[in-house]
Structures are given as C-alpha cells and as structure tokens.
Amino acid sequence: MLSGSRIGGLLSSTAELLFGKRMIIAKSQKDLDKMRAVGELIAEVREALRAMVKPGVTTLELNAVAEKMMRDAGSIPTFIGYKPRGMVPFPYAICASTNDAIVHGFSNDTQLKEGDIISLDMACTLNGFVGDTATTIPVGKISDEAAQLIRVTEETLALGIEQCWPNKRVGDIGWAIQTHAEKYGYGIVRDYTGHGIGRSMHEAPQIPNHGRQGTREKIRAGYCFAIEPMLNLGGPETRTLDDKWTVVTEDGSLSAHAEHTIAVTENGPEILTLTKDQKRELKASKSETAAA
Ligand code: MG
C-alpha cells in the first residue's frame, strides 16, 4: 500500500497509513517566516507560468521556465526525483495535467491548443521548507462548462481555506469544499487529498476534499496545510496511466485542481502562496472593507 504515495494530491490510502498516528507539526514564528518566503517564491513561479499559457506552448517549455526560476532563486524543485517506495522517480519540476488529467501529468512537447484546460502543480524547497501550489488555466477560449468548473474549483479552495481557524476541525475543510462542489454536481476526487506541509512536502494531517463538520483533527495556530480540491465534470473515479504517474478521470471527463499552502494563525488563515502583488491587493481590499 505504501507504494502509492504521490506528489500533487496525496493518495488517500497511503496518507492514512503514513499519517494516521503521526503528530501534526506546529510551526514556530521563525519557521513561518521561511514558509512565507518559499510560498511567495512558488507563487511567483505559478503566475509566470499562467502568463505563458496560450495555444502553441508546450508543457516542456513551461516546465523549463519553472525549473529555472526555482533554481535561480536558490530553491530546489521538490517534485524532481520524488520517489515514493516502489515508484519511478518523478522527472519534472511541475505536474502538467491537461483536460481529463487530474494530477501528476508529465510535461511533453505537445502544443497546447485552444479550448484545453491545464492544471499546473508545483512545489519548491527553500531554506528547508516547502511551498506547494496549483491552479487550472484556460488555453485561449474555453467552453462555458470548463470555465465554470475552474471557477467553482477555485471557490471551493477559498471556502476550504476559510475554515482554517484555531479550534475548527480538519473535517470542516472537506465539508466546505464538498458542500459547494455538490451544488454543481461535480465529482469530488477522493483518491487524492490535501496534506500538512512544512519541512516535508507531505506531513500530517491528511486533508480530504469531502467530510463532515466537527470531525477529524483539531486545527491549531502554527499548522500549515496544502489544501487542494480536485473536481471532475463527471464522476469522482480515477485511473493511473502506464507512465505510473498521470492520474486521469475514469470517465474521460474534464478535471480541475487548485491548491494553496496556508498557515493557521490566531487571526485565521494566512495564504502563503501569493505573490508580492497579490498580497498587496489583498491588503488593499481588506483595508477598503474595513473603511466601508
Ligand atoms: Mg499538494
């Protein structure tokens, strides 16, 4: 069973084995500063890739830019060489998962085409701490149903993050995600989950994208989570391709994925994987709300 551990969304059966009894590591203020630094760095990479996505671009080109940005900033691409027991090492800096691919897609030299959607998942390690983020990006003009899937996936991520206050429970996160996704009839991927994060990409707890309020572990200040809903237009079932990594929807339907690394503070959730500009905008909109 341990052979199934993966990188983007963590394989849920494996996480249960790995983390079932494991302590959740609360971060010190010093650790949190390092989590902020790596979070901002990986967010800059994500936004650079978002700006590149258009018809004609290949995922190998995206991967090359991501790897260069990570290394130039003095960080290590966390995914490269990631090798759970019994698995082949993951070869790329990013997971590039197009259309019916959910997570863990390999980069290749196929040109993206108008109407595709592409999930880009990436992580790097800086000063011993990991930042992990993902987003799903439209390639040119996409169908209304694909656009809605992406929008709702981002909304479920935001709703999940809103639950991350001290004394709430991990089950509250999954509940918030599930409740919103089910309004649209989307399949919620259950085979892969979010996770704690820090010095390791995958720490306890496992964070499912479905659940009941008031269940699972109690959330405390200092915890850092990677929350990552994966939603399908069709059913929730998954299948892994012969490359041993790429996970696709069993029914061939489109899938979207969104992920942030967050820290739980006494004042609620702090999203770590925002760029400098995004943090500035967030601050401005918060002070506007306060002034109104
Ligand atoms: Mg992750």
Q: What is the pLDDT of residues 46-83, one digit of tens each?
A: 999 999 999 999 999 999 999 999 999 999 999 999 99
**Distance between Cα 19 and ligand 1 center (Å):** 15
**Distance between Cα 239 and ligand 1 center (Å):** 19
**Distance between Cα 53 and ligand 1 center (Å):** 21
pLDDT for the residue numbered 109: 98
**Distance between Cα 11 and ligand 1 center (Å):** 10
Domains of the chain: 28-291 (3.90.230.10)
Contact partners, residue 230, CB within 8 Å, separation at least 6? 9, 102, 103, 153, 188, 189, 192, 209, 255, 256, 257
> Average per-residue pLDDT in the chain?
94
User: What gap in Å lies between CA 42 and CA 127, rounded to an integer?
Assistant: 13
**Distance between Cα 292 and ligand 1 center (Å):** 36
User: Is it the case that residue 12 has pLDDT exceeding 80?
Assistant: no
**Distance between Cα 122 and ligand 1 center (Å):** 8
pLDDT for the residue numbered 129: 98
pLDDT for the residue numbered 187: 98
pLDDT for the residue numbered 86: 86
Kindly state the average pLDDT of the residues 170-184: 98
Confidence of residue 15 (pLDDT cuts 50, 70, 90): low
| 218-255 pLDDT, tens digit each | 999 999 999 999 999 999 999 999 999 999 999 999 99
**Distance between Cα 288 and ligand 1 center (Å):** 32
**Distance between Cα 290 and ligand 1 center (Å):** 33
- Phi-psi category of residue 45: left, alpha or beta, with phi > 0 → left and psi -120 to 50 → alpha: alpha
**Distance between Cα 34 and ligand 1 center (Å):** 18
DSSP the chain: -GGG--SSSEEHHHHHHHHTTPPPPPPPHHHHHHHHHHHHHHHHHHHHHHHH-STT-BHHHHHHHHHHHHHHTT-EESSTT---TTSPPP--SEEEEETTEEE-PPP-SPBP-TT-EEEEEEEEEETTEEEEEEEEEE-SS--HHHHHHHHHHHHHHHHHHHT-STT-BHHHHHHHHHHHHHHTTPEEP-SEEEEE-SSSSSEEEEE-SS--TT-SSBP-TT-EEEE--EEESS-S-EEE-TTSS-EEETT---EEE-BEEEEEETTEEEE-S--HHHHHHHHHHHHHHHH-
**Distance between Cα 192 and ligand 1 center (Å):** 9
| 75-122 pLDDT, tens digit each | 999 999 999 888 899 999 999 999 999 999 999 999 999 999 999 999
- Report the percentage of the chain scoring pLDDT > 70: 94
Contact criterion met (CB below 8 Å) for 103 and 9 = yes
pLDDT for the residue numbered 19: 65
**Distance between Cα 259 and ligand 1 center (Å):** 7
116 or 6, which is more confident: 116
pLDDT for the residue numbered 279: 95
User: What gap in Å lies between CA 89 and CA 5, rounded to an integer?
Assistant: 12
pLDDT for the residue numbered 4: 39
